[in-house]
Amino acid sequence: MTEALAVTVEIAKGVAWLTLNRPESRNAVGPELSQALHEAAIRCADDPDVRCVVLTGSGKFFCVGGDVDLFARVGDRAGETVGALARTFHAGVLRLATMPKPLITAINGPAAGAGLSLAILGDIAIAARSAQFAVAYSAIGLTPDGGASWMLPRLIGLRRAQEMMLTNRRVGAEEAATMGLVTRTVADDDLVAAARETADALAQGAVGALAACRKLLHDGAVVGLAAQLDAEAAAIAATSGSAEGREGVAAFIGRRRPAFPGAPVA
């Protein structure tokens, strides 16, 4: 019997669906899943036919975080093992965060620890109403990974991030949407359709401009106003001279729907 892939990849009509595929362990992040996620992220980033990526989980959980059973099994080698795991995981996270195309997270159930980091990584994060969120690390004497300490304060503010990180309070899906942790919630049965509708719309869009928007938003969190204004000027100059920009302007003037280069046939 062939072993199931830890992360499956399905590509259709410009959209890549990445599914964390360890439902028996609630999609815990171990070496196989971490490596598979990194490889899938590289594949999606480099494939010109992929214009949008959706990340979701299999089964009833999105991802419960690191494989704590593994941490216990390795005993005195925990520092070395977890450090190597985190580096591989972070390589995948960074590739997903910086690839030149948008990312949607379809959060199908509870997300904790590293799973929380993945859940909030999406440019658009759509949560099933059964989803719950927890930082979880300090409850077992560990510290965050996957970018949680960078993303949480930027999404929900320092005070709320401090509470979530230090007390490990669980946050339900509706509260998560209210505080800005996720974009919106939908009924569990509607999650896939909602994510697909959003992904298809983005795949039809000006992906080059969307990539530039992603970079501006990320960089704007850590640079000053003058540098950000310079980056915006450079980006709008580049996009206005691109085939996407020329088509977008022509469509606006012609009062028609734009047909951006490379967009799949609807």
Helix (H) or strand (E) holding 154: helix 148-156
The one-letter code for the residue type at 206 is: A
The helix/strand/coil state of 64 is: coil
Instruction: Give the span between the Cα atoms of 110 and 133, in whole angstroms.
Output: 6
Q: What one-character-per-residue DSSP string does 194-238 give?
A: HHHHHHHHHHTS-HHHHHHHHHHHHHTTTS-HHHHHHHHHHHHHH
User: Per DSSP, which regions of 129-186 are E strands?
Assistant: 132-134, 171-172, 184-186
Distance of CA 11 to the CA centre of its chain: 17
- Phi/psi-derived region of residue 147, left when phi > 0, alpha when psi is between -120 and 50, beta in every other case: left
CA distance 20 to 149: 22
Catalytic residue (one of 47, 90, 190, 218): 90
111 neighbors 62 (Cβ within 8 angstroms): yes
Of the candidates 67, 123, 145, 200, the residue annotated as catalytic is 145
Q: Would you call 230 a catalytic residue per the annotation?
A: no
Q: Is 90 a catalytic residue?
A: yes
Active-site positions read: 90, 145
